[in-house]
A and B are shown apart, each in its own frame.
Chain A
Amino acid sequence: MLGRRGFLRFLALPPYVWLAAFLLAPVLLIGVISFRPEPGPIDFGEPWTPSLVQYGRILETASYLRQLAISAVMALIVAASATMLAFPVAYFLAFRAGERASLYLVLLLVPAAVSFLLRVMAWRLMLGQEGGINSALQWLGLTKEPLDLLIYSRSAVVVTLVYVWIPFATLPIYAAMGRIDRRQLEAAADLGAGPWSRFWRVTVPLSLPGAAAAFFMVFIPTVGEYITPRLVGGSETYMYGQLIQDFFGRAASWATGSAAAVIMLVLTVVLVLVATRLVNLRRLTA
């Protein structure tokens, strides 16, 4: 017979098995492939000697490293913008929406039910030279010619990704605000703190774990983003995720693509570790 603890472990087993099979194993496989000396076709039956040649190929090409840095900065901008814009939305849901909070939350997530690709394509229609925004600007007499900057630029990628991520960034912040003990706000008011002071000195610090979770939830996948820059970025916006995709697809070079992916994974983990070390959430919320 399983004890209570054994039963709980048994219940936790399927997700662990699932993660091991479909997350850990592929990541390990990518790690192994990245050490193959030959970039081309992979024959798993043939013996080979591990080599760092693929890593050298990436690290010795300045433009690849520059793309990695640009992608990290773009991810930083997208994550910071999405988190900041999600914050007031979460605040409204947690403190002002009352009984309708669930309804508003569902409405917020409705666009997420539409395919990611369709939402990005919709932005292409909005930002295009003949698109909604340019047409409106011209109709209002604010511009004479369509603005080229709106589409096929880094700013188009940032705007689109921020839009895509806001609903998801809202969730952890809303959850953190929902856990705030309302008596703390009452105590602050009793001690003479005004609304603004209560917001900055109670609500914001206690929401920071949620905001940090939202930030990383956006930052990590955005570093490796490749669909959005391909659709709205134009030839001047090439992100590191596209490089990985090109190695796997166009160049049929899985080993080089794997090395590029491992470099990005390591960089992302290091950045996240550094950030969590610099921003001591426990101290902030204490």
Chain B
Amino acid sequence: MAISRGARCGGHPAVRARVRSTRAFPAALLSATLLLTACGAAEPNELLVLEWAGYEEADFWVDFAEANPDASVEFQIGANDADILAQMHAGSDADVFHFYTGWQQFYVDEGLVREIDTSKLTNWDKVPDDMKALGQVDGKQYYVPWDWGFTSILYNTDHVAEVTSWDALFSEEYAGHISMWDDGPGAVTVSAYINGWDETAITEEQLAQIETDWIVQKPLNLHYWTDEYADLCPEVISGDIWVAYAWQGCYASALYEGVPVAYANPEEGRNSWVGLYGISAESESPELALEFLDAKLAEVTCSNAVTIFYYGCANADVMAAVEDETLIEAFAINDPGILEATNFTPPVTAEQRDAWTAMWTRVKAE
């Protein structure tokens, strides 16, 4: 699409012929300038997407590929939110980047993201308002929400009685069969829930207590998982892990495999997260990037997130069409009180992020 635009603009034979003539040079220069201006200096027809592993699969951008068969889409993989932010800091050429709630402010503060013109998004009206709000910073829409889900305790009902609190992760009864996510902010969130602390205002003393608690928990833990589908689910399904900090995708996978599992509704509440896409401030293809984000919200792409990864998608029409009983259970679609009992991931400051990550590194090294 943009290539043809570019061919029409910069490479037009009439323009080249005029440039050859020195007498006509001023006129040619003016024409070329006008043409380039009119064309918006022709964007490259290529995108680089800084993504979490797994999302580069064609299923997760199928609508864009169909609408833009000539566009080239490359993916750069980030290991986690910190890594994605670090890559953007380091001058990544990514046009589009994907991260999760809690990290919105950093990209805006550091001038790494550009505002989104939602009037150009044809699927924007399908996104619920509260999700749109998660993509706003200082009243401006910087991000497009896409995938979402819960975090709670996934447990094997053959080995574990009903889990009613996040403190099941610290239970000696399940020693050697517990798995925690390898993430400092995630560990702080769990401890804040258990202790009834405000996770946005963790004091130094509280952080020291959290560090001690997780060091004590370490011998009970089989391993810290980093990839839900590679590290966690296979061992939940095999029966090695009985109690895990998990997203609902693994819950659905285990249900499909016939494993006796349940997904807790802890008295402290579940956690909920939303994935967001931003367009780099340095992108040379902002219009194409916008088309990419719009297509992410389209029906087939969103449905694939639901049926392949078992993650929720920001397109409300797609979620309303879910009929599969396992997915309805995984997304708690029939539970009217679920959102009231859910803690949404709050934004953290750079200082909190660094302190919590450093704390977690010390826990692992201890």
Contact = CB atoms under 8 A, between A and B. Distances in A.
Interface of A: 39-42, 61, 63-64, 66-67, 128-130, 148, 152, 230, 233-236, 238, 242-243, 246-254
Interface in B138-191: 176, 180, 182-184
Contact of B223 (A39, A234, A254): A234
Contacts of A253: 354
B146 to A, nearest CB: 23
A61 B365 CA distance: 10
Contacts of A64: 365
A130 B82 contact: no
Nearest to A124: B234
10 contacts: A61-B362, A129-B238, A129-B240, A130-B239, A152-B222, A250-B182, A250-B183, A250-B360, A251-B82, A252-B86
Interface string B210-254: 000000001101111010000000010011100000000000000
A238 B82 CA distance: 20
Interface in B319-366: 350, 354, 357-358, 360-362, 364-366
Nearest to A253: B354
B78 to A, nearest CB: 9
Contacts, number: 82
Interface size class of B (residues with CB under 8 A): 35 or more
B219 A246 contact: no
A251 B354 contact: yes
Nearest to B219: A236
A234 B226 CA distance: 12
A250 B240 contact: no
B110 interface: yes
Given A39-B354, A66-B365, A128-B240, A248 B222 contact: no
A254 B90 CA distance: 10
Nearest to B91: A44
Given A41-B90, A251-B354, 20 more contacts: A40-B350, A41-B86, A42-B89, A42-B90, A66-B365, A129-B238, A230-B226, A235-B222, A235-B223, A235-B224, A236-B219, A238-B365, A243-B361, A243-B364, A248-B86, A249-B80, A249-B86, A250-B360, A251-B82, A251-B361
B79 interface: yes
A41 B89 contact: yes
A250 B85 contact: no
Nearest to A232: B223
Given A250-B184, A251-B354, A251-B357, A128 B238 contact: yes
Contacts of A236: 218-219
Contact of B238 (A42, A66, A130): A130
A250 B89 contact: no
Which of B80, B219, B239, B358 has its CB near the most chain A CB atoms (within 10 A)? B358
Contacts of A40: 89, 350, 354
Nearest to B79: A249
Contacts of A148: 176
B70 interface: no
Given A41-B86, A253-B354, A63 B365 contact: yes
